[in-house]
Amino acid sequence: MGLDPDRLNAIDLATVDEFHVGGLDATRELAAQMELATGLRILDVGSGIGGPARYFAAEHQCKVTGVDLTEEFVQVAQSLTRRTKLDHLVEFVQTSALDTKLPAETFDRAYMIHVGMNIADKAGVFCEVRRVLKPGGKFAIFDILRAGEIPITYPVPWASSEETSFVVSKGSYHNQLEKAGFHVERERVRTAFAIEFTERAIARAAQDGQPALALHLLMGNLAPVMIKNVLAMMKQGVLEPVELYARAV
């Protein structure tokens, strides 16, 4: 892509390291609702290869700790963070979001982007986030939720079959968040934005070819069919990308 690997900035990697529908635009939108300030400590739940964490550090000067279960993702996240010279603000820990081993009441904010679909125990993850957040801290979620009862068509980017897919409804997120000690302050359905973003990316790839840095590097050869399935299900009203903003009470 003509980038110098020794002079990368956080945004240069956005076509590959923002591993969710809506890419960097979606991360920006989430950040804009999170009442951020320089120096705040943020937990990134399921940080992947670290695009959102680097964005929060580079654009908002926050200190971010990313936790992820996948060792290889953590290693790539650390390497890209060194390359983009953000390792003084961002760290990654290989651990489960259900039991991070991080100290209680450490973080001012937390966010979770496209992770809940892979976690059956939503109550467990919400309780763990509540434990490590300071009282009054804000928790932002951007996940794909179930909008209707029609069965999901696999593969999707988070699962090749229903055995590893745990997509539930907005009502279920609300209940589990409230039980875990959060008050849900706001919810925003992002289906129209996500459809438009995905259709634009597909049209661009058809016209100009796939960029060298893109999500096929993370999703493999089935990336086009996974993306096509999610797009079709968002259009049919089977799935909906939703932002939720909750406050630790």
Q: In this chain, which residue has its C-beta nearest to ligand SAM?
A: 48
**Residue among 15, 16, 22, 48 that touches ligand SAM (CB under 6 A):** 48
CA 48 to CA 215: how far, in whole Å?
12
Of the pair 33, 149, the CB lying nearest ligand SAM is at 33
Ordered DSSP codes for 2-61 = ---TTS--GGGGHHHH--STTHHHHHHHHHHTS---TT-EEEEES-TTSHHHHHHHHHH-
The answer to whether the beta carbons of residues 66 and 40 sit under 8 Å apart is no
Only segment of 94-102, 130-138, 144-152, 205-213 that touches ligand SAM (CB under 6 A): 94-102
CA 222 to CA 160: how far, in whole Å?
10
How do beta strands 107-113 and 133-146 pair?
A: parallel
Only segment of 40-48, 173-181, 194-202, 220-228 that touches ligand SAM (CB under 6 A): 40-48
115 binds ligand SAM (CB under 6 A): yes
For residue 161, give the 3-state DSSP assignment: coil
Only segment of 56-64, 90-98, 131-139, 190-198 that touches ligand SAM (CB under 6 A): 90-98
Of the pair 93, 184, the CB lying nearest ligand SAM is at 93
| Residue 82 burial class via C-beta count within 10 angstroms: exposed 0-12, middle 13-18, buried 19 and up | exposed
**Residue among 15, 24, 42, 47 that touches ligand SAM (CB under 6 A):** 47
Residues 168-207 that bind ligand SAM (CB under 6 A): none
How do beta strands 41-45 and 63-68 pair?
A: parallel
CB of 158 to ligand SAM, least distance (A): 6
The residues binding ligand SAM (CB under 6 A) are: 18-20, 46-48, 51-52, 67-70, 73, 96-98, 113-115, 118-119, 158
